[in-house]
Amino acid sequence: LNEVDMGTARSNGIQDMAQLAVLTRLSGYFARSINFDGGEYGNGLLSRWSISGKLDVWDISTAISQEGRSVFRALIPIKSDTLQIFGTHLGLVEQERTTQARFIDSLLVTAI
Q: Render pLDDT for 97-107 as a digit per residue (tens, 0 to 9).
A: 999 999 999 99
Q: What are phi and psi of 50, to 5 degrees?
A: -65, 140
3-state secondary structure 83-109: EEEEEECCCCCHHHHHHHHHHHHHHHH
Q: Who's near 45: CB < 8 A, 6+ residues apart?
A: 1, 28, 29, 31, 51, 72, 74, 85, 87
Q: Which pTM value belongs to this model?
A: 0.87
Beta strands in 18-107, from DSSP E residues, in sequence order: 27-36, 39-47, 55-59, 70-78, 81-88
Domains defined for the chain, CATH in brackets:
4-109 (3.60.10.10)
Q: Render pLDDT for 30-60 as a digit per residue (tens, 0 to 9).
A: 999 999 999 999 999 999 998 887 789 999 9
